[in-house]
Amino acid sequence: MKKITLRATICSFVLLATAGCAKLDEKTYGSVIIDPNNASSTADLNGVYSQLNGQTDQANTYALQEHSTDEMMGPTRGTDWGDFGTWRKLHTHTWTPSHNQVSDTWDQLNIGVFRASQVIARATDNQIKAEASFLRAYFMFQVVDLYGQQPFRDPDAPNSAIPVVFNRADATAFIIKDLEFAEANLGAAPNIGKASKAAAQALLAKVYLNKAVYTAATVGGPFTFPKEDMDKVIEYANKITAAGYTLEPAGKYFQDFAWDNSEKSNGNIFGIYNTPSNVPGSAKNRWKMGLHYNQTPDGWNGFTTLAEFYNSFQPSDERRGVAYPGLTDKVGLRAGFAVGQQYGPGGKKLTQRSGTPLVFTPEVNLNYSTEAQGIRVFKYFPHPNADGTVTDSGEDNDYVILRYADVLLEKAEAIMRGGTDPNGQTPLAIVNAIRTPRGATALGSVTEADLLAERGRELYWEGWRRNDLIRFGKFNDPVDQRPNASDKTRTLYPIPQRAVDTNPNLKQNPGY
């Protein structure tokens, strides 16, 4: 046996069977034990799971899915967060095939696809094959969603072999087959960090809901949602409900993201399982990226939401922000959106570095912001110690990728788009079942615009906003700091130029 350390410096020909390799920043993503006599070992599979840890980064997959939307931006603050325009270009839809995060995301996701394919090709145990099939489907889903093409290399092919490239429709069919195999061979899991039958069903529902986007004749639509696909969404949603997943009760919305969500969440289906002694995919980036330097804990003073998005919440909506026991009383930080005067331990009013009051304002400028501008978001948050200090490591909030509220809203959308629910639920009943416990006023009717808005309020900053906006035909609309509509070709990111240059089967996406 030998231990192989896997790094982002893997050449393109390893992942995509290309002929050359551009120089990349070296980043280690973990190691995997390759044993030719026992290729189905747990260590091989764990190497695939470890590739998920990159999903918790504030950059790459998460940034491509969120900064390009109406709910997140990364303003430059003096000399902070300039980063050669990487965040600004995402929000303004002005990225190019050489954009650093477009390239890095492509590498990270395709490493996941390739490593999962290795396990599937060599494993003899169906449980291991099924878990690897689910993981490959997840990574491939993200590639298809972001880039619209999927290079695929046979793990047993020589390094010199040029891989096939699945178009978007064929890749979607491939993903569905992987997930159907996973669903048939998986059962319950000990925690959200392991693939389960419900996880496969949740991802199947998401794939079928987006299938119209992935099989459209023209990038960016128009989209036609076949009834049989919508019925599949409903079928898988109903299976997950039957398995016992539920919404959090009134006053407990943030329990899905808190430090004890492993034990107390009723609706988290799949993600990264963290414990105090083992934190493979810490969620702390999600609060560090918005916290001001003078808050407890201190942060990076970066990303904000947009005022219009914040204003879409009713003041009574718990999801907008609440004092959270064990957090607010210890360090002054509230769960949810942070706007206005900020407070520290003991209720002390905080100041900026200049000594002026730390007041987060709705107004923000993408190019020239002060350190206090912009509404911050703390959907995940740390667990303060009894004395009010915060240990800036080992935070054990599970990182959530798939959860039940998302599945329910997908079901409501599928019914609205022509699907039939054998249980007789209506979109209105589903949406109000989510809104009412959160303190939001029940709606009298539900339109497509209402449903998109509700998905935003329920799932904000979870990495699904771009996906939703595209499906509803709203991704290219003007938003704050992007005053003009972008072209529909921007619903796909470009294939990184070095990948196109070295794999003749890859064709650059329209518009690039």
Note the pLDDT of residue 391.
85
Q: How far, CA to CA in Å, does 266 sit from each of 174, 192, 281?
A: 31, 11, 21
Residue pair 409/430 in contact by the 8 Å Cβ criterion: yes
Round to whole Å and give the CA distance between 279 and 394. 6
How confident is the model over 418-477, as pLDDT tens digits? Answer: 999 999 999 999 999 999 999 999 999 999 999 999 999 999 999 999 999 999 999 999
Note the pLDDT of residue 7.
40
Note the pLDDT of residue 8.
39
Q: How far, CA to CA in Å, does 412 sit from each of 90, 228, 231, 264?
A: 30, 15, 11, 26
Note the pLDDT of residue 41.
65
Cis peptide, bond prior to residue 297, ω within 30 of zero: yes
Note the pLDDT of residue 160.
87
Round to whole Å and give the CA distance between 391 and 138. 32
Round to whole Å and give the CA distance between 432 and 424. 15
How confident is the model over 20-32, as pLDDT tens digits? Answer: 333 333 343 344 4
Residue pair 48/135 in contact by the 8 Å Cβ criterion: yes
Q: List domains and CATH numbers for the chain.
A: 2-75+86-251+491-502 (1.25.40.390)
Note the pLDDT of residue 394.
60
Low-confidence ranges of the chain (pLDDT < 50): 1-39
Round to whole Å and give the CA distance between 213 and 207. 10
Two structure tokens written together for 298: 């201190």
Between CA 205 and CA 210, with CA 206 as vertex, the angle to 5 degrees is: 115
Residues in CB range of 165: below 8 A, 6 or more apart? 149, 150, 151, 152, 503, 505, 506, 507
Note the pLDDT of residue 2.
37
Note the pLDDT of residue 42.
84
Closest to 413 (Cα-Cα) out of 451, 376, 387: 451
Residue-wise burial string across 350-375, b where 16 or more C-beta atoms lie within 10 A, e elsewhere:
bbbeeeeebebebebebeebbbbbbb
Round to whole Å and give the CA distance between 19 and 347. 60
Two structure tokens written together for 24: 């990349």
